[in-house]
Amino acid sequence: MVKVANINPPKIISTSLNTTSKCNKNNTRIKIEKLNVSFSKNHVLKNVTFNIKCNSITAIIGPSGCGKSTFIRCLNRMNDIIPSAQITGKIILDDIDIYDPNYEPYELRKKVGMVFQKPNPFPKSIIENLAFGLRIHGIKDKREIEKRVVSAIKSAALWDEVKDRLHDSAFSLSGGQQQRLCIARALAIEPEVILFDEPCSALDPISTAKIEDLMINLKQKYTIIIVTHNLQQAARISDYTGFLYLGKLIEFGETTKLFTAPKEKLTENYITGRFG
């Protein structure tokens, strides 16, 4: 099962219609098997194993330093950038281990988009922020780019606010708008999975609410994984929740069950605010 690395990215088939078809019988989208990550001698993730379901929101919660961000950055191989990172185990997406040496991280990141903690638009115009991503993946046709940019901005619920100033700098937007632009940027290259690494921690409650609504809308088309400090947020929007503590996955299950009747004492202590 070795995927030959594509030098030229293949023509992208519109994923908006057929993402659901990519789900297998038991609805699993990503299989994580015995994932271990260490930085130098610091063992950050220990034997993390669970499955992420299709078209759902999976929240990862846990106290600071438990490995949440490290975990989510494994899913699009962002940890590859850090030279000291050592990763073992498997992450299987579409029947292929994304850590297979022949798997191109650039292709993976097109499939698995990411939104970061702090809004980080490029120092370019609003429209260029999205067009850049399309061009690097080989889309040159101007009309095609424009079509996709507009549709991505609409999907990110930002169109009405920016339609008259698409050529303004992305930094002229408010923090919440910038974060939605970053979501639009991820959507424009038509991923199948979107990772959110504490996307609301730098935003005010109103912007947070907008982004939460947006995520709930997006899960119809995409598989969403979110790392969050905010337990209420996890309870509000996620379908499944995993609790990470000191690098171990203590508990994973349906959000309603995990929050109302946790199986583990540690989970209960954490969600009731006894530590963390």
Q: Does 186 bind other proteins (CB under 8 A)?
A: yes
Distances 187 to 14, 170, 227 between C-alpha atoms, Å: 12, 16, 18
Distances 240 to 72, 76, 94, 145, 236 between C-alpha atoms, Å: 15, 20, 20, 35, 11
Q: Does 180 bind other proteins (CB under 8 A)?
A: no
| Cβ proximity of 155 and 184 under 8 Å | yes
Q: Which of 29, 45, 127, 133 binds other proteins (CB under 8 A)?
A: 133
Going by C-alpha positions, the residue among 36, 33, 34, 137 that lies closest to residue 95 is 33
Q: Which of 36, 169, 201, 230 binds other proteins (CB under 8 A)?
A: 169
Q: Closer to other proteins at the Cβ: 135 or 265?
A: 135
CA distance 95 to 31: 9
Q: Closer to other proteins at the Cβ: 67 or 133?
A: 133
124 Cα distance to chain centroid: 23
Q: Does 176 bind other proteins (CB under 8 A)?
A: no
17-25, 147-155, 184-192, 258-266 -> range binding other proteins (CB under 8 A): 184-192
Q: What is the DSSP letter of 141?
A: -
Question: Encoding tokens for residue 46?
Answer: 């220990």
37-45, 168-176, 210-218, 235-243 -> range binding other proteins (CB under 8 A): 168-176
Question: Encoding tokens for residue 184?
Answer: 């639009």
Q: Does 83 bind other proteins (CB under 8 A)?
A: yes
Q: Does 10 bind other proteins (CB under 8 A)?
A: no
Q: Does 114 bind other proteins (CB under 8 A)?
A: yes
| Binding residues with other proteins: total (CB under 8 A) | 32
Element (H, E) at 218: helix 205-218
Q: Which of 62, 121, 247, 262 binds other proteins (CB under 8 A)?
A: 121
Binding mask 33-72 for other proteins (x = CB under 8 A): ----------------------------------------
Q: Closer to other proteins at the Cβ: 32 or 194?
A: 194
Question: Encoding tokens for residue 167?
Answer: 């050529």
- Name the 3-class secondary structure at 130: helix
Q: Which of 60, 61, 152, 182 binds other proteins (CB under 8 A)?
A: 182
Q: Does 108 bind other proteins (CB under 8 A)?
A: yes
Going by C-alpha positions, the residue among 146, 147, 153, 75 that lies closest to residue 121 is 153
- Name the 3-class secondary structure at 268: helix
| Cβ proximity of 213 and 46 under 8 Å | no
Q: Which of 66, 162, 183, 189 binds other proteins (CB under 8 A)?
A: 189
Q: What are the residues binding other proteins (CB under 8 A)? A: 76, 78, 81, 83, 105-110, 113-116, 118, 120-124, 132-133, 135-137, 169, 171-172, 182, 185-186, 189
